[in-house]
Amino acid sequence: MGKLDNKVAVITAATSGMALATAKLFVAEGAYVFITGRQQEKLDEAVRAIGKNVTGVQGDAANLPDLDRLFEIVSKEKGHIDVLFASAGLSGQQMLGSVTEEQFDSIFGLNARGTLFTVQKALPLFRDGGSIVLNGSIASIKGLPGRSVYGASKAALLSFARTWLVELKDRGIRVNVLSPGPIDTPAMQAAPAQMRDQMRSMIPRKELGRPEEIATVALFLASDDSSFVNGSELCVDGGLAQI
């Protein structure tokens, strides 16, 4: 018996890395999963990799008509949602003094605005007792040079979670933030070797996290195992942001 048997989950930006690993685990634990991605080719590859009980919907979480189409498809195919993992996010590195309006707007437009409207548009389909997981980052608490805009956009998510849990308490819908540290995703693998080595050196175990280590925590927050966890930020960072 799976931890998500007969549940319907939506995971945004799940064509690679942490979100794809989460989608695979959710399906293995009994869920039917809807995933999104901006590029159809990569979305098709992700659907094939998951293998069963999955629908891919092309779209951008920063684009409200795309979100409307996503949830119209969910409504037609399944009629409800039990779990939402709002995973879509945009990083960036801009030192104070060189931040542009375009950089600020694109990062906040997806990470904060996109997350808010993803959740808001999902709500009419949510069954009572469901779980919302927001994809945060330890950049919101660590104070990493060049990451002020990104970190601030992720810090907004914890405020969202704490406010929304109060607004949703009568429906029993929980809202939590999962904040990863450095994870060995395709994006990390494409980063300069010097940066990856620096990240490893800061982690107590001297190894990057694996996407599957994020997926297991997302499963915990999505399932009844975390029934008494609400409005919390769970850092999955190997201890990096804790020391």
Q: Which position among 150, 160, 164, 220 bears the catalytic label?
A: 150
CA dihedral (119, 44, 14, 91) positive or negative:
negative
User: 41: which residues sit within 8 A by CB, 6+ positions away?
Assistant: none
Give the Cα separation of 42 and 172 in Å (integer): 35
* pLDDT attached to residue 195: 82
Q: Mean pLDDT over residues 133-157, rounded?
A: 91
Q: Which domains does the chain have, with CATH numbers?
A: 8-183+211-236 (3.40.50.720)
Give helix 211-222 / helix 17-28 axis angle, nearest 10°: 50
Taking the C-alpha atoms of residue 39 and residue 50, their distance in angstroms, rounded to an integer, is: 17
Active-site residue 150, yes or no? Answer: yes
For 203-217, b where at least 16 C-beta lie within 10 A, e where not — what string? beeeebbebebbbeb
**pLDDT above 90 for 110:** yes
Q: What are the backbone angles phi and psi of residue 221, rounded to the nearest 5°?
A: -70, -30
Q: What token pair was written down for 234? A: 């769970």
| pLDDT tens-digit readout, 78-104 | 999 999 999 999 988 889 999 999 999
User: What is the band of 63 on the pLDDT scale with cuts at 50, 70, 90?
Assistant: very high
- Kindly state the percentage of the chain with pLDDT values over 90: 86
